[in-house]
A = this chain, B = another copy of it.
Amino acid sequence: MEKEASYKDKKVITIGIVRELTGLSERQIRYYEERKLIFPERSLGGSRKYSFSDIELLMEIANKIEDGVQTFEIRQEIVRKQKKQDEKAIQKRMLQGQLNAQFGVRKR
C-alpha cells in the first residue's frame, strides 16, 4: 500500500558531492539551508546528508537565484508547492478510504 521512499529521497550524499553535482559552493548550499530552502539530515558527527531530490531542488534554486529571485520568495514558492502536494496526498487517502469502505476491506 505504502509507496516506498525510493532512493531519490534517501539522504545519503555529503556536501562535497552535492557541490560537484550542482556546481554550487558549499557556502551557498549551507546558506540556502539557513534560509530554510533545504533540510539535510545530519550524521551522528554532524555532517550534512542530502538526497537526490535535494540536489534537484538545489538546481532549481540556483536557477531562480540567477534570475534574481530572492531566497525569501523561493521559500514561499516551496511552501506553496509543498502544500499542494500535501492536499493531493490527503485527497488520495480519503478516496482510498471510501473505496475500502465501499468494498469492505478489512483492517488487520
Contact = CB atoms under 8 A, between A and B. Distances in A.
The complex is assembled from copies of this chain, and their number is: 2
Interface residues of A, number: 12
A71 interface: no
Interface in A1-44: 7-8, 10, 12-14, 16-17, 21, 43
12 contacts: A7-B7, A7-B8, A7-B52, A10-B52, A12-B12, A12-B13, A12-B17, A12-B21, A13-B13, A14-B14, A16-B43, A17-B49
A21 B13 CA distance: 13
Nearest to A43: B16
A12 B8 CA distance: 12
